[in-house]
Structure 1
């Protein structure tokens, strides 16, 4: 236990705060699509079945890809995957803003879901790395960011998107760009942390030194 703690870095509150903030951005953007359903239903004469397909496309990619990406990250950690995830979210926002057909709306929903699936496993891993052993604090802070984004998403849509229309969602792409810049910095911290762990090596557990006859 002592050897394990010796490999832990001090708690990095700035990293935890940054990841929590990007979690807020991601989840806020994810909830823009459901908040737009009244506008999309009227604008494209969508049925409730089609709205359900949009939800399915977003959620099925977000949910089913997450454990796959988590397993891949466990086997081969990719520090810059976090930044890639936010870039994918930004692409999804642009597609959503410019979509002119149900097929493009479906594509936007799937791309947003993929971005979310890429983000969550790696973000959770970084929070754990930055915890310095305070795993409960790090994870709960991470969740606060996501829950806040979930709460603000519909509100942002009501205040900005619904009055200005579908194309106004492109402005939320700026939030994704801000998140991308933050996560590039976090990726550098992640890579440095990995190098430090690799140079420290895996601690060996040494048993009592007994001579052969005593064994």
Structure 2
């Protein structure tokens, strides 16, 4: 009976750890993917930037994160270090806080790069910690973790709209509160995570299954396309609605919050479903269901825009946590690398797309950006249909 009870305990989710990691994810993504695109409308007049220079800010943030995350993840799989969790969050939060006193555009880019590198170090460790705390419900645990990130992305534009637009750029210095909170949460988790990494190293040798490289590459492409939708809308929607419909930035930032907030709800529901049905099917259905709303994206304003944005955000981001668990299923021997490729490289590559969209907007107008975003889910659905239909196996390390 003692053995049975131990097995049951091992299979249960460590709720305290999962929700604490979720809180750290909120702080990290508020500081990076939440604030960086939204703050560009404040950086623009201060440093006299065009759309290409605005997009470069986002590119530096996402590129620093996207390139470093797979590298940090691969390194963490070989040499796990629990201290990377608090260090990564410290750098991501303090980097964005320092942009409030950046004396020039070049220094601003350096601070943004520091924040991106911190995010790159944080995500593989936080995702692995979630995996260790998940027990048998990997999808639900990743859903909770990813909702923290999506929530942070949604809160960022709201902070800009409700506080920073009136407080001015030095109001960003209030992000030092996030630095302090991040240290409290991560240092509290540190002893548990350090011990968990030691046990996980022993279990890794018992994992069944091989890495499926072809499917991994295809899944990364789908994630990149999804990121183009998410980052493209978050960055350019305020400018698009102001340019085409005369909407004020306060209202358009609220629309961005609603879009990303709907995505956070979709992320949770999709992740919870991943423990019960095929992850490949959830990814495919999320792309298919987002197509009609994506096609209507550029043509509505006011309340009708919300009718399109809410379901579009819900469906396009409902596969967010699913793709993390699915990637861990395809890379059972490299859990941190799986996180680096999905949360890091795949999502961060959206910053590269944002730069392309910025150049396009400067040359042919903002409308062209949204016309491209209309058809991205169509391509994503086609590629998702080509992925292997996974079975109800546990992803990664049990």
TM-score (norm 2): 0.47
1:75-94 alignment runs, 5 A limit: 75-94=78-97
Q: 1:20 aligns with which of 4, 19, 22?
A: 22
Counterpart CA distance in 1 for 2:202 and 2:73 is 24
Cα offset, 1:197, TM superposition = 5.2
Matched with 2:280 is none
Structure 1 residues 6, 154: CA separation in 2 closer, same or farther (over 3 Å shift)?
same
Contact 1:8 1:132 in 2 (8 A): yes
Contact 2:27 2:93 in 1 (8 A): no
Paired residue secondary structure (1:79) = coil
Aligned length: 200
Counterpart CA distance in 1 for 2:202 and 2:54 is 51
Counterpart CA distance in 2 for 1:51 and 1:35 is 11
Q: 1:44 aligns with which of 44, 47, 53?
A: 47
Q: 2:133 aligns with which of 130, 133, 136?
A: 130
Question: Which moved further from structure 2: 187-196 or 39-48?
Answer: 187-196
Contact 1:26 1:149 in 2 (8 A): yes
Contact 2:94 2:175 in 1 (8 A): no
Paired residue secondary structure (1:36) = helix
Structure 1 residues 135, 167: CA separation in 2 closer, same or farther (over 3 Å shift)?
same
Structure 1 residues 73, 45: CA separation in 2 closer, same or farther (over 3 Å shift)?
same
Describe the superposition over 1:134-170 as per-residue Cα deviations: whole angstroms up to 9, x where unpaired: 1111111111111111111100111111111111111
- The reply to whether residue 29 of structure 1 matches residue 28 of structure 2 is no
- The reply to whether residue 155 of structure 1 matches residue 147 of structure 2 is no
Question: Greater relative contact order (Cα 8 A, min sep 6): structure 1 or 2?
Answer: 1
Contact 1:19 1:142 in 2 (8 A): yes
Structure 1 residues 128, 199: CA separation in 2 closer, same or farther (over 3 Å shift)?
closer
Cα offset, 1:180, TM superposition = 1.7
Structure 1 residues 98, 152: CA separation in 2 closer, same or farther (over 3 Å shift)?
same
Counterpart CA distance in 2 for 1:112 and 1:69 is 15
When the two chains are superposed, the root-mean-square deviation of aligned CA atoms in Å is 2.2
Q: 1:165 aligns with which of 163, 168, 174?
A: 168
- The reply to whether residue 63 of structure 1 matches residue 78 of structure 2 is no
Matched with 1:139 is 142
Contact 1:7 1:200 in 2 (8 A): no
Counterpart CA distance in 2 for 1:70 and 1:134 is 22
- The reply to whether residue 103 of structure 1 matches residue 106 of structure 2 is yes
Describe the superposition over 1:112-155 as per-residue Cα deviations: whole angstroms up to 9, x where unpaired: 11111111111000001001121111111111111111111100
Structure 1 residues 56, 131: CA separation in 2 closer, same or farther (over 3 Å shift)?
same
Paired residue secondary structure (2:135) = coil
Structure 1 residues 93, 198: CA separation in 2 closer, same or farther (over 3 Å shift)?
closer
Counterpart CA distance in 2 for 1:150 and 1:200 is 34
Counterpart CA distance in 2 for 1:54 and 1:25 is 20
Structure 1 residues 197, 68: CA separation in 2 closer, same or farther (over 3 Å shift)?
closer
Matched with 1:209 is none
Cα offset, 1:91, TM superposition = 2.6
User: What runs of 5+ residues in structure 2 fail to find an aligned partner?
Assistant: 207-398
